[in-house]
Amino acid sequence: MAAGELPPPVCGEYDVVVCGAGPAGAAAAIAAGRLGRRVLLADMQSQVGGLIASYGIGTFGDSPGGPIFDELIERLQAIGAAHLLENPERYYPPGRWRCGTAATSAVLLEMLREAGVELLLMTVAESAWLADGAVAGVTIVNKAGRSLVRARVVIDCTADADIAASAGTPFVQGDPEDGRIQQSAFRAGIEGVDAGRLPPPQELEALCRAAVASGQITPPDAIFGIHAECFPFSRQSGALELGAWELRGIDPTDPCQTTEALAQCQLAALQIVRFLRERVPGGESARLTRFPAAPGTRESRRIVGRYTVTREDVLSGAKFDDGVTPAWFFLDLHDPPPGTSTPFALEFVQQNRPRPGDWYEIPYRCLLPIEPPGLLVAGRCISCDRPAQGSLRVIPTCIFLGHAAGTAAARAIEADVHPHELDGVALKREVMGDWRP
Ligand SMILES: Cc1cc2nc3c(=O)[nH]c(=O)nc-3n(C[C@H](O)[C@H](O)[C@H](O)COP(=O)(O)OP(=O)(O)OC[C@H]3O[C@@H](n4cnc5c(N)ncnc54)[C@H](O)[C@@H]3O)c2cc1C
pLDDT tens figures, 228-264: 887 777 766 666 777 778 899 999 999 999 999 999 9
* 166 and 39 fall within a common domain: yes
Among 290, 325, 348, where does a domain finish? 290
- In angstroms, the CA 172 to CA 17 distance is 24
Residues 6+ apart with CB under 8 A from 144: 11
User: Which residue ranges have their beta carbon within 6 Å of ligand 1?
Assistant: 19-25, 42-45, 50-51, 55, 57, 59-61, 124-125, 157-160, 162, 185, 296-298, 379-380, 393-395, 398
Residue nearest to atom 27 of ligand 1 (CA): 159
How far, in Å, from the CA of 104 to the mean position of ligand 1? Answer: 14
Whether 281 has a pLDDT exceeding 70, the answer reads: yes
* 21 and 125 fall within a common domain: yes
Whether 106 has a pLDDT exceeding 80, the answer reads: yes
Residue 199 covered by a domain = yes
Whether 112 has a pLDDT exceeding 90, the answer reads: yes
- Taking residues 17-28, what's their average pLDDT? 98
User: From the alpha carbon of 25, which atom of ligand 1 is closest?
Assistant: 25
The string of pLDDT tens digits covering residues 393-433 is 999 999 999 999 999 999 999 999 999 999 999 999 999 88
- What CATH number should be reported for the domain holding residue 323? 3.50.50.60
* 282 and 254 fall within a common domain: yes
Residue 137 covered by a domain = yes
Percent of the chain with pLDDT over 90: 84
Substitution candidate for ligand 1 out of 51, 87, 265 with most atoms within 8 A of CB: 51
Residue 391 covered by a domain = yes
* 161 and 189 fall within a common domain: no
Residue 1 covered by a domain = no
* Distance (Å) of CA 84 to CA 61, 68, 73, 234, 237: 11, 17, 10, 21, 22
Among 261, 290, 319, where does a domain finish? 290
Specify whether the backbone of 374 is left (phi greater than 0), alpha (psi in -120 to 50) or beta: left
Q: State the pLDDT at residue 238.
A: 62
Q: For 152, list phi and psi in degrees, rounded to 5.
A: -80, -35
Residue 409 covered by a domain = yes
- Supply the DSSP symbol for 309: B
pTM: 0.96
**Residue 2's pLDDT band (cuts 50, 70, 90):** low
The string of pLDDT tens digits covering residues 318-359 is 999 999 999 999 999 998 888 877 788 999 999 999 999 999
Residue nearest to atom 44 of ligand 1 (CA): 43
Whether 192 has a pLDDT exceeding 60, the answer reads: yes
Point out the least confidently predicted range of 205-214, 301-310, 315-324, 362-371: 205-214
Q: State the pLDDT at residue 227.
A: 78
Q: For 216, list phi and psi in degrees, rounded to 5.
A: -70, -30
What's the domain range around 315?
Answer: 10-175+299-432
* 19 and 135 fall within a common domain: yes
* 305 and 398 fall within a common domain: yes
Q: State the pLDDT at residue 382.
A: 98
* Distance (Å) of CA 51 to CA 20, 63, 313: 11, 18, 26
Percent of the chain with pLDDT over 70: 97
User: From the alpha carbon of 23, which atom of ligand 1 is closest?
Assistant: 25
- In angstroms, the CA 379 to CA 399 distance is 7
- In angstroms, the CA 65 to CA 8 distance is 41
User: From the alpha carbon of 50, which atom of ligand 1 is closest?
Assistant: 49
How far, in Å, from the CA of 162 to the mean position of ligand 1? Answer: 13
- In angstroms, the CA 167 to CA 412 distance is 20
Q: What is the mean pLDDT of the chain?
A: 94
Whether 206 has a pLDDT exceeding 80, the answer reads: yes
- What CATH number should be reported for the domain holding residue 273? 3.30.70
Task: Please state the domain count of the chain.
Answer: 2
* 153 and 64 fall within a common domain: yes
Mapped onto helix, strand or coil, the DSSP state of residue 114 is helix
Which helix (H) or strand (E) is 113 found in, with range? helix 101-114
Which helix (H) or strand (E) is 414 found in, with range? helix 395-415
User: From the alpha carbon of 61, which atom of ligand 1 is closest?
Assistant: 11
- Taking residues 141-170, what's their average pLDDT? 97
- Taking residues 97-125, what's their average pLDDT? 98
Residue 2 covered by a domain = no
* 165 and 229 fall within a common domain: no
User: From the alpha carbon of 51, which atom of ligand 1 is closest?
Assistant: 29
